[in-house]
Amino acid sequence: MKLINRMKLEFDAISINEAFARSVAAAFCVTQNPDMEDINDIKTAVSEAVTNAIVHGYEKSGKGIIILEAELYENQVKITIEDTGKGIENIEEAMQPFYTSKPEDERSGMGFTVMQTFMTSLSVTSEKNKGTKIVMTKKFNDVSEEN
């Protein structure tokens, strides 16, 4: 797979930057002519990942940095969202549908499920008090999904 382009963006872990991150990720992919469904999937998954970093990684403190990296290939994009927040103690548990560590905030617990549903692949690594790294890929115009 040939790397066509890549980018890296760092921004403050504040909620206003969630919309910024999703727009940047989507705009970065347009040179490969993804369809609108692919663009919307990417925007949704990036939104969930960034929101998780803000709400869970940094506990809405407004302190901390989120790093968004993207690598564009001929038929897919690889997106990495990373924080240096509190980390996830049990990734397997956190990835279960409806699991939330913040039920008092009326969180739905569907963030990872949404990311898995809208992206081609998802991997999560995390270390307590060191942060979380989410790596997602999205294949464009994947005809295998239609058959």
Q: What is the pLDDT of residues 53-111, one digit of tens each?
A: 998 899 888 899 999 999 999 899 999 999 999 998 888 877 776 666 665 665 555 67
Residue at token pair 């919307």: 40
pTM of the full structure: 0.88
User: Hey, which CATH number is domain 3-145, 3.40.718.10, 3.30.450.40, 3.30.565.10, 3.60.15.10?
Assistant: 3.30.565.10
For 29-65, how does the pLDDT look when each residue is reduced to its tens digit (9 = 90+)? Answer: 999 999 999 999 999 999 999 999 998 899 888 899 9
Q: Which active-site residues does the annotation give?
A: 48, 52, 107
Domain-by-domain residue ranges, the chain? 3-145
Tokens of 56: 């869970």
Helix (H) / strand (E) element for 39: namely helix 36-52
Q: Report the C-alpha gap between 71 and 114 in whole angstroms.
A: 21
